[in-house]
């Protein structure tokens, strides 16, 4: 595995939600230090072309546009999943309140809608997880502000019938938590990490960070906690989890007890319940949390997130209660970077990487290779919006 691309200039976002559809990655919402998250405004959508590494911003809906009634407000701590050409955004909050309305973004028309749902709708929350198994979106955990407690409930939305169901499970469920990660492998939903509390569902500031991996077999609605072997990652929250060839990968995150950010990479193999700490080639991203990771083909695209403040080059998050920084005492910086991890880099990719790393002369190379080198080394500028032609 090789970290091949590192570009700046994309959307500076933290605690956003992103999902891949085809060769494009769609990133929804999130926050950035200095912005106002008390007033409601339309959610921003940024699109990454994974062929040329260029970001574009979809124009925001104007208040007098009839479609504005179906556009989610800007938020953080929400989830996004894809089903066909459509992306479903659920949950999350701004600084005033959480939300439990389902929104649908059509990647063909670039338009929002509010699908009519029925059944037992989950309570508004943020910091939950979501993944798609068969025809349903499964929701687990999060923090429900209305009842002021962590959750460990499971809800499922049938994306064909738009019916919500509360799933009555068997076995021992994961502890109450938020900002964990859920990964779908076959018919199983794997849960790892997250922030809990020694008092169970109640938030007392006595945090717990589990490093167990637990899965729900959705065919039987039964929880299982397998005995694992290998190099087990430390407990954490606000990390990224992604699936590649039926294995689950964990990157980054934060442990509040140790006040520690991570930039390590672990692989969990469900077939053997074995953990492996992965050693990658190339320059890996710095320690961070609340970034996004999306798999496209044999590559992982990582972007955004927040880290301990290391220098004057990026905005610093102030220590005040108005920002959604979980009461951290340390100063943080928000990222606008993009990193690409290639699972099986081709010989051509490795050669291009040598040209970049050694700053070799490239004028003699064929035009298509020079174009690839330019795409891999030119920082982004997303000030020009993507035209909405739908």
Domain assignment present for 24: yes
Give dist(CA 35, CA 43) in Å, integer: 13
175 in a structural domain: yes
pLDDT at residue 295, as a whole number: 98
Angle at 40 between CA 37 and CA 46, to 5 degrees: 75
Identify the band that residue 38 occupies on the pLDDT scale cut at 50, 70 and 90.
low
Domain of 317 in residue numbering reads as 2-377
pLDDT at 312: 53
The pLDDT score that the predictor gives to residue 187 is: 98
Q: What confidence score (pLDDT) does residue 311 get?
A: 58
Give the least confident one: 157-166, 289-298, 327-336, 376-385. Answer: 327-336
Specify which residues 333 forms β-bridges with.
Answer: 307, 316
What is the band of 148 on the pLDDT scale with cuts at 50, 70, 90? Answer: confident
38, part of any domain: yes
**129-133/136-140 β-pairing:** antiparallel
| Position with higher pLDDT, 317 vs 163 | 163
Count of structural domains, the chain: 1
* In the predicted structure, residue 121 carries a pLDDT above the cut 90: yes
The answer to whether residue 389 sits within a structural domain is: no
CATH, residue 327: 2.120.10.80
Q: Is residue 111 part of a domain?
A: yes
User: Sheet containing 274-277: which strands, arranged edge to edge?
Assistant: 229-230, 274-277, 260-269, 247-255, 240-244
Q: What are the tens digits of pLDDT across the range 202-259?
A: 888 889 999 999 999 999 999 999 999 999 999 999 999 999 999 999 999 999 999 9
Is residue 211 included in any domain, yes or no? yes
Residue 40: predicted pLDDT: 76
* pTM, full prediction: 0.90
Whether 388 maps to a domain, the answer reads: no
Q: Which residue, among 103, 109, 106, has the nearest Cα to 90 in the 3D structure? A: 103
Maximum alpha-carbon separation in the chain: 66
């Amino acid at each position: 595995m090789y970290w091949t691309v590192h570009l700046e200039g994309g959307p500076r976002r933290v605690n956003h939600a992103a999902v891949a559809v085809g060769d494009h990655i769609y990133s929804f919402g999130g926050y950035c230090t200095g912005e106002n998250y008390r007033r409601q405004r339309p959610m921003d959508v940024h699109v990454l072309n994974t062929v040329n590494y260029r970001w574009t911003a979809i124009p925001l809906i104007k208040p007098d546009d009839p479609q504005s009634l179906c556009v989610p407000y800007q938020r953080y701590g929400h989830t996004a999943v894809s089903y066909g050409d459509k992306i479903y955004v659920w949950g999350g909050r701004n600084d005033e309140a959480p939300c439990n309305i389902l929104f649908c973004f059509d990647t063909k028309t670039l338009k929002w809608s509010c699908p009519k749902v029925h059944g037992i709708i989950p309570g508004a929350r943020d910091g939950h997880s979501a993944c798609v198994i068969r025809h349903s979106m499964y929701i687990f955990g999060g923090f429900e502000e209305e009842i002021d407690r962590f959750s460990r409930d499971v809800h499922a939305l049938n994306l064909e019938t738009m019916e919500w169901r509360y799933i009555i499970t068997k076995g021992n469920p994961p502890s109450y938590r938020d900002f964990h990660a859920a990964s779908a492998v076959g018919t199983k939903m794997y849960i790892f990490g997250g922030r809990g509390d020694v008092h169970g569902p109640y938030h007392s500031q006595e945090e717990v960070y589990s490093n167990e991996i637990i899965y729900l077999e959705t065919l039987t609605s039964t929880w299982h906690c397998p005995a694992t072997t290998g190099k087990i990652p430390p407990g954490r929250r606000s990390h990224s989890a992604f699936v590649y060839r039926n294995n689950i990968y964990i990157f980054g995150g934060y442990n509040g007890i140790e006040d520690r950010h991570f930039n390590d990479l672990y692989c969990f193999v469900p077939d053997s319940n074995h953990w492996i700490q992965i050693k990658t080639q190339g320059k890996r991203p710095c320690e961070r949390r609340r970034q996004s990771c999306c798999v496209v083909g044999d590559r992982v695209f990582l972007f955004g997130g927040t880290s301990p403040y290391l220098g004057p080059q990026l905005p610093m998050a102030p220590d005040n209660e108005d920002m959604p920084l979980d009461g951290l005492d340390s100063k943080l910086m928000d990222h606008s970077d993009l990193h690409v991890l290639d699972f099986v880099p081709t010989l051509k990719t490795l050669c291009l990487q040598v040209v970049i790393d050694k700053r070799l002369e490239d004028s003699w190379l064929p035009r298509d290779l020079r174009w690839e080198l330019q795409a891999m080394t030119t920082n982004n500028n997303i000030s020009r919006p993507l035209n909405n032609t739908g």
